[in-house]
A and B are shown apart, each in its own frame.
Chain A
Amino acid sequence: MHSTRSTIVFVFIMTAVVAVILAALFNGLKPIHDKNEALYNKTAILSAIENQLPKKLDEMEGEEIETLFSTKMKQSVVSISGEAIDEALIKARHGGSKAENISLKTEKKIADEEKYLPVFEYQGDGGKKFYIASVRGSGLWDDIWGYVALEDDLNTLAGIAFGHKGETPGLGAEIKDNGAFKEQFKGKKIYDEDGNFKSIYVRKGGAKDPIHEVDGISGATITADGVTEMLDRGLQYYDSYFNTIKG
């Protein structure tokens, strides 16, 4: 009925048609995809200091978030030793020269000494400053990440936001969805009284140290351990930078 030749021709034509349609659609929608992704990331960063913002993020339009981010957020990129990084170098690695262009997914694979660390400095009301550090680690199934907002003493947590790629809804995914979990981090400190780096520990069975620990989530021990590890390692990268600012 169908010769081998006609079968091959059919398959070729079909593949060509499909390829053209999908390529056109992909390229046509790319600018919107990029814009959505950038806005999504900015919203996530801002959500770490949501209570400092003039309005709740849900009530803001995309445009407002963009404006807020560009006017109030000072961006810088530093190395693990706390020095500013040349814009050209950042652009070469991430395609853009600002902190918002930095993909922590790429950075995760890079050696510690070579890492570029994004810093977002939010200018709050009354001249109050907040520093937002980005961290990334591993949960149970896939990557998890977080934005840690510190007050201007670079020690006390002002807020935190988490994200994840594929944690179990209702269990691991609670790090993102459960407001009460995130709320616990407020006021916790990442340095001890002597100024040594201590990070924050997510403890299974309930926090014991009121300054450096928070309660875990039942049924999400591995994700919680991932959060502990991510904060400890990720914030330590910023240690030198924080010390430079504190002077």
Chain B
Amino acid sequence: MSEITKVAEKEPTFAFGKKERKLLTDPLNDNNPITVQVLGICSALAVTTKVDASFVMAIAVVFVCAFSNLIISLLRNSIPKSVRMIVQLVAIATLVTIVELVLKAANYTVFTELSVFIGLIITNCIVMGRLEAFAMANGPWKSFLDGIGNGIGYGIILIAVAAIRELFGKGTFYNIQILGDWYTPNGLMVLFPSAMFVIGILIWIHRSWNRDLIDVS
């Protein structure tokens, strides 16, 4: 009997059960970094004028989020508490620099478009927030999944906002003309304030669709 319970208690390192799935899906809906936690708004305002740039940005954030979570989780027991924030920041900054160098080699045009915003992933609250809240207290595999989940949760909103802004601001989607010549592009949509409106509206839609999120107090 004791043999069976032991096996059941010890979870395999790379389990992919209900709990792990929840780590991936939770940030997409109930715990979305942008629409629920309202983190990472700064970059959501800045890079969402075009879908292609947002897409690359989303991939970069998924990568940085997942691997910084993984690294910090692996080191979590050996990081001296007094410098843990600095260690987290170094891990993030290193990964962001890697992304920047690789992107500059892989696609120079997108690199010039995103320019400073890739570097600004370092200051993205989502990444640091997940390190503090999750990776410091959980195993590497779970932390990795949590990072991917949060990165994707951020990415979908980013792409959704960019799709709306690009469509109305330029009449295109992914640089392909959608709206014909009859449409006069709305200049406000490419400016930062419109991202505020769009995100606000998305939060509104999200809350009226997922009633659990409404704070009754």
Contacts and interface: CB of A to CB of B under 8 A. Distances in A.
Interaction A to B: yes
Interface string A175-219: 000000000000000000000000000000000000000000011
B79 interface: yes
User: Which residue, of A36, A165, A166, A219, has the highest number of chain B Cβ atoms within 10 A?
Assistant: A36
B187 A171 contact: yes
Interface stretch (A21-29, A75-83, A88-96, A100-108): A21-29
B83 interface: yes
B102 A170 contact: no
A18 B90 contact: yes
Interface in B27-79: 49-50, 78-79
B81 A2 contact: yes
A36 B190 contact: no
B82 A36 contact: no
A169 interface: yes
Contacts of B101: 22, 25-26, 29, 33
A218 B187 contact: yes
A11 B83 contact: yes
Interface stretch (B103-111, B140-148, B205-213): B103-111
A29 B49 contact: no
Q: Is the interface of B mostly helix, strand, loop or mixed?
A: helix
Contacts of B78: 10
B177 interface: no
Given A40-B108, A169-B50, A169-B190, A29 B94 contact: no
Contact-residue bracket for chain A: 20 to 34
B160 interface: no
A52 interface: no
Interface string A60-81: 0000000000000000000000
Contact of B112 (A39, A40, A170): A40
A29 B102 contact: yes
Contacts of A2: 80-82
B132 to A, nearest CB: 18
Contact of A165 (B94, B108, B115, B190): B115
B86 to A, nearest CB: 7
A171 B105 contact: no
Nearest to B79: A10
Interface in A29-53: 29, 32-33, 36-37, 39-40
Contacts of B123: none
Interface string B86-123: 11001000100110011011001100100110000000
Q: Is the interface of A mostly helix, strand, loop or mixed?
A: helix
Interface string B155-183: 00000000000000110000000000000
B191 interface: yes
A15 B90 contact: yes
A55 B189 CA distance: 34
A82 to B, nearest CB: 33
B16 to A, nearest CB: 30
Contacts of A6: 80
B74 to A, nearest CB: 13
B79 A11 contact: no
Contacts of A15: 90
Nearest to A6: B80
Contacts of A32: 105
A1 B81 contact: yes
Given A21-B98, A22-B98, A29-B102, 9 more contacts: A10-B78, A10-B79, A11-B83, A11-B86, A25-B101, A26-B101, A29-B104, A170-B49, A170-B189
10 contacts: A7-B83, A18-B94, A22-B94, A33-B104, A40-B112, A166-B115, A168-B190, A169-B190, A170-B49, A219-B187
